[in-house]
Chains A and B, each alone.
Chain A
Amino acid sequence: MMTLFEWVILAAKIAGVVLVLLHVVPVMVWVERRGSALMQNRLGPNRVGPLGLLQSLVDVIKLLWKEDSIPGHVDAFYYVLAPFITVIPAFMTFAVIPFASQLTWNGHLISFQIADLNVGLLYIFSIASLGVYGIIMAGWSSNNKYALLGSMRSSSQMISYELSMGLSVVGMIMIFSSVSLGDIARLQGETLFHFWIFDIPKWGIFIQPLGFLIFITAVFAETNRLPFDLPEGESEIVAGYHLEYGSMKFALFFMAEYLNMTTGAGLLTTLYFGGWQMLPGMHFALDALNLQGMTYECVRVFLELTSFIIKVGFFMWLFVWVRWTLPRFRYDQLMDLGWKVMLPLSLVNIFITGLLIYYKVV
């Protein structure tokens, strides 16, 4: 049974995560537009507010005030439902990602994670597998050939890459023998080996480099971002599954893409970059401050939170960076890569990890 205090903390955590996620979207749209401009040697939005930061805000106001029309040839119920089905899983996934370690406050243990399920990773994969429904539903209910083609491409792509995504993480699960993301983040704080004056931590990237490469590729494919944005290949199928959508309903699809990016970045951080483990150098800073008791704990959590945000921010920028650097794959290349390269590689990764564990190397 939960006490009132625990309920309040839980509600605060949920509200905090949802609010932050909602605010990440307009900021990321701005970063994407300015970032693409930077790479293409132009200016990007720079008129509304300082550095064009308020551009996203006025865009949202425009989208909210536009007429919410439903074309006559669609299946209205599922047409309206599809954007919601796309957005909700994007929010749900973040529930199991830890963003700082635990804090004891007045005898209460506060964990900075909405729910530390003992099925953590399975929960993420199951929710991620639901994201495909919104896209199928949108493409099918739009009653439009381009939209249906886009949704078909998207769903077959997501199903293909889900497989290698799931298998690439098995290596991490084998090493830490836990599927709880809280455990995985905590155990990555251990030292892998000493090198001169540096402590190399047991971050996923150091013990599972192949798994990391497969996972990050799969994340790009799952979020339908370039170089895997076949579902909305503008030059071939106009805009794909959200072709018939306008105003705020289109914006929901747009939001879902950026939310999925955020979750993907959070997952990459948690699994392969030590999650909330402090960045190199922060330990020295914390020790140098020479704090005691509660102040120490608060500063520690603050530093961990900052590290998590910096790491997630790096991956968010990587998404933008890659999008404006690489060209799009051809569809058969995409499928070949998924089934003939990524899947065998992830199986090889599991086999090698098994051998390493058997001979007690890791």
Chain B
Amino acid sequence: MDISPLFFYLFAGLAVGFSFLVVLKKNPVASAFSLVMVFFAFAGIYALLEAHLVAALQILVYAGAIMVLFVFVIMLLNADVPSFDVGRSTLKIRLGAAFLCLILFCIFVCVLKDSPLPISDKTFTPEKIAAQGGNTQVISELLFSEYILPFELTSLLLLTGIVGSVAIAKRKLGGSNAN
């Protein structure tokens, strides 16, 4: 009684459907909400692949943090205008877009058709991961041992980003006060 294919088609269908909504909705806030649903569907697929940590992080980081910020920015900037002018899309533009989409699709097919799965060595089989205490344990140990330098550098990069944004916001605030 394996019902996971059923759930795969459910989540995959949701992902495709809401991806269409992201593009088709004219209201940016509605597009953003649809994108959240896409992320959620992806997380469902990750969970089906037993990658629980990736699924949890997908929701926590993308759906829970980044998209909240997006929605905030869209709502506060009151960007209630269509993201592109539909009236001007002539036949030429539509044909061009369709052609570009076709090329992109061909590239994807060419790249993914013959390439082997990236996991070639058998270091991380599901059994071995389970024996070492699950995804979270394995990934945390790797992050804090073998990949400690990239990990710390990434956090430094994020810190720089925070300091930079605060500095820019402060300067603008100071300028308006001086005037």
Instruction: List the interface of chain A (C-beta within 8 A of B).
Output: 1-2, 4, 7, 75, 77-78, 117-119, 122-123, 125-127, 129-130, 132-133, 136-137, 140, 148, 152, 155, 159, 179-180
Subset of 27 A-B contacts with CB under 8 Å: A1-B2, A2-B1, A75-B27, A78-B33, A118-B52, A118-B53, A118-B134, A119-B52, A119-B55, A122-B57, A122-B60, A125-B60, A126-B56, A126-B60, A126-B64, A129-B60, A129-B64, A129-B68, A130-B40, A130-B59, A133-B68, A133-B71, A137-B33, A148-B75, A152-B75, A155-B72, A159-B65
B148 to chain A, nearest CB (A): 16
Known A126-B64, A133-B33; contact A119-B53, beta-carbon cutoff 8 A: yes
**Contacting residues, chain A, for B65 (C-beta < 8 A):** 129, 159
**Looking across the interface, which residue of chain A has its beta carbon closest to that of B53?**
A119
Look across to chain A and name the residue whose beta carbon is closest to the beta carbon of B30: A78
B57 close to A130 (CB less than 8 A): no
Interface of A is mostly: helix
Asked whether B63 is an interface residue with its Cβ less than 8 Å from the other chain, the reply is: yes
A118 touches B71 (CB 8 A): no
Q: Which of A2, A119, A123 has the most CB of B within 10 A?
A: A119
Contact with A along B1-25 (1 / 0, CB 8 A): 1100000000000000000000000
Judged by a CB distance under 8 angstroms, whether B154 is at the interface is: no
Q: Which of B2, B40, B56 contacts A119 (CB 8 A)?
A: B56
Query: Using Cβ atoms and an 8 Å threshold, which residues of chain B touch A133?
Result: 33, 36, 68, 71
Enumerate B130-163 residues with CB–CB distance to A below 8 Å: 133-137
Given contacts A126-B56, A130-B64, 16 further A-B contacts (CB under 8 A): A1-B2, A7-B1, A118-B52, A118-B133, A118-B136, A119-B134, A122-B136, A123-B56, A125-B56, A125-B60, A126-B59, A126-B64, A129-B63, A136-B68, A136-B71, A155-B68
Select which of B2, B60, B64, B137 is within 8 A of A118 by beta carbon: B137
Across the interface, which residues of B come within 8 angstroms of A137, CB to CB?
Answer: 33
- Distance A96 CA – B21 CA, assembled complex (angstroms): 32
- Interface size classification for chain B: 20 to 34
B70 to chain A, nearest CB (A): 11
Contact status B71-A122, CB under 8 Å: no
Contacts A119-B136, A125-B60 given; does A159 touch B53 at CB 8 Å: no
CA distance A148 to B78 in the complex (A): 12
Is B29 engaged at the interface, CB distance under 8 Å to the other chain? yes
Tell me the complex Cα distance, A289–B57, Å. Answer: 47
CB neighbours (8 Å) of A180 from chain B are 134
Given A78-B30, A132-B68, A122 and B53 contact (CB-CB distance below 8 Å): yes
B59 to chain A: which residues have CB within 8 Å?
A: 126-127, 129-130
- The CA of A7 and the CA of B137, in the complex, are separated in Å by 28
In terms of DSSP, what is the predominant structure of the interface of chain B?
Answer: helix
A-B interface, 3 closest residue pairs, ranked by CB to CB distance from nearest? A129-B64, A118-B134, A126-B60
Taking a contact as CB atoms under 8 Å apart, the answer to whether A118 and B135 are in contact is yes
In the complex, chain A residues whose CB is within 8 Å of the CB of B137: 118
Contact mask for chain B residues 65-102; partner A; CB cutoff 8 A; 1 contact, 0 none: 10010011001000000000000000000000000000
CA distance A155 to B63 in the complex (A): 14
Best-buried of B1, B30, B40, B64 by chain A (most CB within 10 Å): B64
Expressed in whole angstroms, the minimum distance between the Cβ of A157 and any Cβ of chain B is 12
Complex Cα gap A117–B29 (Å)? 33
Report the minimal beta-carbon distance from B35 to chain A, rounded to whole angstroms: 11
| A6 (CB) vs chain B CBs: closest residue | B1
Chain B residues in 8 Å Cβ range of A132 = 64, 68
Q: How far is the CB of B17 from chain A (nearest CB, A)?
A: 14
Q: Give the CA-CA distance A78 to B30 in the complex, in Å.
A: 8
Would you call A130 and B63 a contact (CB within 8 A)? Answer: yes
**A136 vs B67: C-alpha distance when bound (angstroms):** 12
Nearest B residue to A4 via CB reads B1
Is there an interface contact between B135 and A119, defined as CB atoms closer than 8 Å? Answer: yes
Bound-state CA distance A7–B68 (Å) is 36
Taken together as a complex, chains A and B put the C-alpha atoms of A2 and B3 apart, in Å, by 10
CA distance A93 to B60 in the complex (A): 13
Bound CA span A122–B61, Å: 11
Measured between beta carbons, the chain B residues less than 8 angstroms from A136 are 68, 71, 75
Distance of A2 Cα from B93 Cα, bound (Å): 53
* Chain A residues, CB < 8 A from B75: 136, 140, 148, 152
Closest residue of chain B to A133 (Cβ to Cβ) is B36
When distances are taken between beta carbons in the complex, the residues of chain A under 8 Å from B2 are: 1
Q: Once bound together, how far apart are the Cα atoms of A137 and B34, in whole Å?
A: 12
- Report Cα–Cα, A136/B135, bound state, in Å: 33
A residues near B72, Cβ cutoff 8 Å: 155
What's the least CB distance linking A201 to chain B, in Å? 24
Alpha-carbon distance A205/B121, docked complex (angstroms): 45
Neighbouring B residues of A179 by C-beta, 8 Å:
136
For B33, the chain A residues whose CB sits under 8 A away are 78, 133, 137
**Cβ of B60: which chain A residues have Cβ within 8 Å of it?**
122, 125-126, 129
